[in-house]
């Protein structure tokens, strides 16, 4: 009798915890929509997706911001993916145990480093270096942001990729080696393809981490909302969606047009993140389903 | 009978000081099924892995003694390990087809060797799959993923991919431990045919299989080779008490 009662309590507590997380997320969505969607009525759609962001003069074109985010994120991934996966392969397949035991915790600590610290390092070290080295008018560019974001994404990518590679059954490796594959052929021909879905998840989480990152990019990208016109834009100041919200939200009048547009940017950002996450999980799910079908 | 591989006074130690093989000397006889059996942890798998140097991956610390194969001590660091592994093929206890199609699984080793001739590859696929008694079951789905086959078929696929390299020796480490009796019978029958052409080393997964398949049998207990005898001698008239206890089911 007593235990049955206790059990009911526990069930209730767990139920409430579960429902509350759904509730909180839907409340966030609700307020985001309530504050953001009015922007669609206040600013003509043509202007909202215009090429000029200059809120004081009433220009609310968010394309430069979207492009700024995309530019910095793609740049970050071009840096983060090869380094991240390369490091993971080294850790899981090549490094001696003692190096791995030292490196893995360090990389995980790196993942927890506050981005403002990295932003500070970016301003103090990376920006002046790039300005001199690449002979640019300013070191605060999309490229600097991309490099920094790449560094922020690397620990996430390394950590998850390494776990994925570790779960590849060692029978695959031994099978390949016993057939006369060398170490290199085993890694690229067997281990990495077998860990494909995990590596994809790692990359997608890296994308998520990059596109949502605010502080570091705000500090080093130079904050100029200019629509990129050529690849050269990589070496000019840019501004991301996140940086725009963070820097302007504090000064905006609640309920004004500008305020609503900033929330609308939040909706766009949310949409992009959602799309990235859905793609990642559906890809992971598809390959898992395929594996299950094959093994059943 | 001729000796294919001669293991001489082999002692293997793991880096944590655990001894895995102690002073083992055994001759692997050519064109015969050489059975190594005994309870778990006896060093059978370690010996197999020493024969194709797969132990290089594990943390094996010291190796004393010699393993002579084709007049060469394969424990010599100068040995071409990849060449050795092609000649001394290995099949593992859990079937692990690579994440590739049936066809690609079979020719994986050949591809690694740089073989490109489509006719030779096609030929070798059919020949290896026929030798592994799998051809009739998979000839119409060579492009399906290897993992789509049943457990027993997967294991024969793994045998076929070793045979495709035309090895001189094939080692099987409990190849039927995860399989049903029908698949087990198929694999045992296949071994009897294969030994015409190559040397087989089998770690069986029980005493019955050891007795059924052995041309020569060695009994391993705690890293030592307790007894070694041709034919069914070990099972019918064991010399050592430990062997007798094990084969009659008093322990194990």
pLDDT one digit per residue (tens) for chain A, 296 residues: 566 778 889 999 999 999 999 999 999 999 999 998 888 888 887 778 887 888 878 888 888 888 888 888 889 999 999 999 999 999 998 888 889 999 999 988 888 888 888 888 888 888 888 888 888 888 788 888 888 889 888 998 999 999 999 988 888 888 888 888 888 888 988 888 888 888 888 888 888 888 888 888 888 888 778 777 777 777 888 888 888 888 888 888 888 888 999 999 999 999 988 888 888 778 767 766 655 554 44
- The residue of chain A nearest to residue B144, with distances taken between CA atoms, is A294
Q: How far is A273 from chain B (nearest CA, A)?
A: 31
A29: in domain: no
In angstroms, what CA-CA distances link B138 with B93, B141, B146? 21, 5, 10
B21: in domain: yes
- Residue A92's domain is classified under what CATH number? 1.10.3720.10
Q: How far is B54 from chain A (nearest CA, A)?
A: 7
Domain with A283, as residue range(s), is: 38-295
B100: in domain: yes
Look up the ipTM and state it.
Answer: 0.72
Asked if B99 lies within 8 A of A190 by C-beta distance, the reply is yes
B53: in domain: yes
A30: in domain: no
Q: Given a cut of 50, is residue B123 above it in pLDDT? A: yes
Domain with B200, as residue range(s), is: 3-247
Asked if B83 lies within 8 A of A177 by C-beta distance, the reply is no
- The residue of chain B nearest to residue A293, with distances taken between CA atoms, is B148
- Residue B213's domain is classified under what CATH number? 3.40.50.300
Sign of CA dihedral A18, A19, A24, A30: positive
Asked if A178 lies within 8 A of B162 by C-beta distance, the reply is yes
pLDDT at B129: 93
Nearest to B98 among A175, A182, A294 (CB): A175
- The residue of chain B nearest to residue A184, with distances taken between CA atoms, is B112
Counting Cα atoms < 13 Å in the Cβ hemisphere of A248 gives 26
B252: in domain: no
- The residue of chain A nearest to residue B171, with distances taken between CA atoms, is A178
Domain count, chain B: 1
A27: in domain: no
Domain count, chain A: 1
- The residue of chain B nearest to residue A180, with distances taken between CA atoms, is B82
Asked if B158 lies within 8 A of A175 by C-beta distance, the reply is yes
Beta-carbon pairs below 8 A across chains A and B: 64
A205: in domain: yes
Asked if A180 lies within 8 A of B109 by C-beta distance, the reply is yes
pLDDT at A253: 84
Find the chain A residues whose C-beta atoms sit closer than 8 A to any C-beta of B: 169, 171-182, 185, 189-190, 193-194, 291, 294-295
Asked if A179 lies within 8 A of B89 by C-beta distance, the reply is yes
Residue to test with chain B: of A100, A180, A289, most B Cβ within 10 A: A180
């Amino acid at each position: 009798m007593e235990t049955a009662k206790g059990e009911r309590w526990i069930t209730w507590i767990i139920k409430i915890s579960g429902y509350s997380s759904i509730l909180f997320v839907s409340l966030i969505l609700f307020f985001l929509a309530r504050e953001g969607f009015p922007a669609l009525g206040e600013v003509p759609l043509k202007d909202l997706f215009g090429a000029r962001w200059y809120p004081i003069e009433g220009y609310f074109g968010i394309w430069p911001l979207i492009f700024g985010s995309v530019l910095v994120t793609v740049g970050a991934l071009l840096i983060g993916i090869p380094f991240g996966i390369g490091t993971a392969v080294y850790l899981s397949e090549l490094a001696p145990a003692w190096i791995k035991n030292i490196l893995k915790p360090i990389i995980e600590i790196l993942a927890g480093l506050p981005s403002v610290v990295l932003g500070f390092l970016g301003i103090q070290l990376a920006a002046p270096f790039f300005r001199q080295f690449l002979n640019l008018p300013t070191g605060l560019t999309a490229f600097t942001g991309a490099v920094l974001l790449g560094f922020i994404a690397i620990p996430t990518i390394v950590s998850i990729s390494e776990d994925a590679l570790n779960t590849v059954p060692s029978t695959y490796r031994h099978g390949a080696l016993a057939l006369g594959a060398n170490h290199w052929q085993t890694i690229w021909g067997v281990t990495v393809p077998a860990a494909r879905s995990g590596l994809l998840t790692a990359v997608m989480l890296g994308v998520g981490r990059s596109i949502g990152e605010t502080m570091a990019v705000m500090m080093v990208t130079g904050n100029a909302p200019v629509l990129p016109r050529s690849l050269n834009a990589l070496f000019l100041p840019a501004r991301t969606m996140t940086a725009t919200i963070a820097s302007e939200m504090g000064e905006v009048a609640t309920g004004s047009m500008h305020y609503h547009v900033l929330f609308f940017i939040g909706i766009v950002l949310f949409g992009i993140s959602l799309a990235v996450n859905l793609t990642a999980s559906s890809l992971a799910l598809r390959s898992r389903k395929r594996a299950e079908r094959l093994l059943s | 009978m001729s000796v294919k591989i001669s293991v001489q006074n082999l002692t293997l130690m793991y880096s944590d000081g655990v001894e895995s093989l102690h002073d083992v000397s055994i001759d692997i006889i050519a064109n015969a099924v050489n059975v190594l059996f005994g309870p778990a942890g006896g060093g059978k798998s370690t010996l197999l892995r020493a024969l194709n140097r797969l132990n290089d991956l594990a943390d094996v610390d010291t190796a004393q003694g010699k393993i002579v194969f084709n007049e060469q001590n394969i424990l010599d660091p100068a040995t071409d390990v990849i060449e050795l592994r092609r000649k001394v093929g290995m099949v593992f206890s859990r079937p692990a087809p690579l994440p590739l199609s049936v066809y690609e699984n079979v020719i994986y080793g050949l591809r690694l060797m740089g073989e490109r001739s489509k006719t030779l590859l096609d030929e070798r696929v059919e020949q290896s799959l026929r030798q592994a008694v799998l051809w009739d079951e998979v000839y119409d789905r060579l492009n399906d993923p290897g993992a789509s086959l049943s457990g027993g078929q997967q294991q024969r696929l793994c045998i076929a991919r070793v045979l495709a390299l035309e090895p001189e020796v094939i080692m099987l480490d409990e190849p039927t431990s995860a399989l049903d009796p029908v698949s087990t019978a198929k694999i045992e029958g296949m071994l009897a045919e294969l030994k015409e052409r190559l040397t087989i080393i089998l770690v069986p997964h029980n005493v019955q299989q050891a007795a059924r398949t052995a041309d020569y049998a060695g009994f391993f207990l705690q890293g030592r080779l307790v007894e070694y005898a041709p034919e069914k001698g070990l099972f019918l008239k064991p010399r050592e008490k430990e062997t007798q206890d094990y084969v009659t089911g008093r322990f194990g």
